[in-house]
Amino acid sequence: MADIRPFHGYRPSPKNAKQVSCPPYDVLSSQEARVLAKGNHLSFLRVTKAEVDFSPETDEHTEPVYKKSCQNLRDLIETQILIKDAQSSFYLYEQIMNGRSQVGLVAGVSAQEYEEGKIKKHELTRRDKEDDRAHHTDVQDANTEPVMLTYRARPEIDQLVATIMKRPPQFNFVADDQITHRLWVVQESNEVSSFTEHFKKVEALYVADGHHRSAAGYRVRNLRRDRNSSHTGNEPYNHYLAVVFPDTQLQIMGYHRLVKDLNQLSVKQLLDKISVNFEITKTSVSTPQRLHEMTLFVGDCWYSLSPRPGTFDERDPVKCLDVSIAQDLLLAPILGIQDPRTDNRIDFVGGIRGTPEIERRCRLDAAVGIALFPVPVAQLMAISDSDKIMPPKSTWFEPKLRSGLVVRMLCET
């Protein structure tokens, strides 16, 4: 059972939606955010990354920055840039990238189900990042950015979504990155109750993108429950903001590796060592074409690598991941990267930057790049179902959810 809840969302008018919306907080550095927000007083970056309103040397984790983010959100509401829906609603959010569409339901999801493992994870989180997002949410008294969740598609939900999408959307705009964003408000009581009932048949939700925001939603529930002597379990803080997509629509892109040096090896020595566990051939195709194929860029050439039979455990849902194969057979034993979380010799390239970025970086400041085939959504779910954890930097979801399109307050229903 998935416990989802409608809510009174705050959202921009159609004329302001594009100007308000912004990329999520964790894909931009503070400097990149300053550049994007410059000259745009409506940018939601002033809520999610309020350090843009301070001098560059300001620590983004100081209390004045958190308080400024709260004030900026209240300013958007008081000036009616963000307008509250009079009725408790769900929302449909469609993104179109390169002609490909994905449509998710915007809803409140249960912190209790997160605690019980019914909202399933596949990544570890860092305490400092949890602290930041939990405090940000608590100070804001709002869920300002959604988590991306997925579930095993159900035809009755697909059919209801398709019916609603026959109506004109509340807004429809193309962002600067050429991705289209459309939103429908679902307020009709029969449709709201239908979504609620249909999701009761969904056995589990899976965190696709936003593990730290999920953890923050859970922690804020605990904080507020402990402060509230009259806690009932029905308060808005018991749920947090998510966009829930069917697994048939999500797209995972490759998350690639860069290493700054060859660990005192020559290119020939590197290739000789790799050939012990991999079939290796020179190639003109830089992007891996299938599962268990990876490509390697070194010495200004691309090579195709396929692990030899028996070199990894095909029955283990984590060990058979291409990112695990690359780590266990190449990065650790040959290039000396024992812990990719902490080793400063490794860097990562994700999303639409792809293999051209690997080439650029190898000609700039890296010695070798490894491109990996995207993790299938089914593989992600299998790992989550097994209560196991993926290696760091395994999945990159694209397109990213825009922030500022729907805000969910924690102080009211």
Do both 207 and 309 map to the same domain? no
pLDDT of residue 280: 98
Helix axes 211-227, 127-140, angle to 10 degrees: 60
The domain that contains 302 carries what CATH number? 3.30.1760
pLDDT of residue 78: 97
Do both 309 and 219 map to the same domain? no
Do both 334 and 216 map to the same domain? no
Do both 179 and 290 map to the same domain? no
Within 8 A by CB and 6+ apart from 137, the residues are 143, 144, 216, 217, 220, 240, 410
pLDDT of residue 411: 87
The domain of 297 spans 252-397
Do both 326 and 272 map to the same domain? yes
Closest residue by Cα to residue 44 from 405, 411, 409: 405
pLDDT of residue 124: 87
Asked, as a colleague might, if the bond just before 399 is cis with ω within 30 of 0, I would say yes
Do both 172 and 62 map to the same domain? yes
Q: Which residue has the tokens 């939103």?
A: 183
Do both 221 and 301 map to the same domain? no
Main-chain dihedrals φ then ψ at residue 338, nearest 5 degrees: -80, -35
Residues in the chain: 413
3-state secondary structure labels for all residues of the chain: CCCEECECCEEECCCCHHHHCECCHHHCCHHHHHHHHCCCCCCCHHHHCHHHHCCCCCCCCCHHHHHHHHHHHHHHHHCCCEEECCCCEEEEEEEEECCEEEEEEEEEEEHHHHHCCCEECCCCCCHHHHHHHHHHHHHHCEECCCEEEEECCCHHHHHHHHHHCCCCCCEEEECCCCCEEEEEEECCHHHHHHHHHHHCCCCCEEEEECHHHHHHHHHHHHHHHHHCCCCCCCCHHHEEEEEEEECCCCCEECEEEEECCCCCCCHHHHHHHHCCCEEEEEECCCCCCCCCCEEEEECCEEEEEEECCCCCCCCCCCCCCHHHHHHHHHHCCCCCCCCCCCCCCEEEEEHHHHHHHHHHHHCCCCCEEEEECCCCHHHHHHHHHCCCCCCCCCCEECCCCCECCCEEECCCC
Do both 236 and 363 map to the same domain? no
Is the model's pTM score more than 0.95? Answer: no
Do both 216 and 305 map to the same domain? no
Q: Amino acid letter at 17?
A: A
pLDDT of residue 412: 65
CA separation for the pair 8, 146 (Å, rounded): 15
Total tally of structural domains belonging to the chain:
2
Collapsed DSSP state (helix, strand, coil) of residue 139? helix
pLDDT of residue 413: 47
Do both 136 and 19 map to the same domain? yes
pLDDT along the chain (413 residues), means of 10: 96 97 93 95 97 95 96 97 97 97 98 97 91 96 98 98 98 95 97 98 96 96 96 96 97 95 98 98 97 97 98 93 96 96 92 91 97 94 93 90 97 66
Do both 230 and 267 map to the same domain? no
pLDDT tens digits along 88-124:
999 999 999 999 999 999 999 999 999 999 999 999 8
Bridge partners for 173 per DSSP: 181
pLDDT tens digits along 12-69:
999 999 999 999 999 899 999 999 999 999 999 999 999 999 999 999 999 999 999 9
Do both 196 and 284 map to the same domain? no
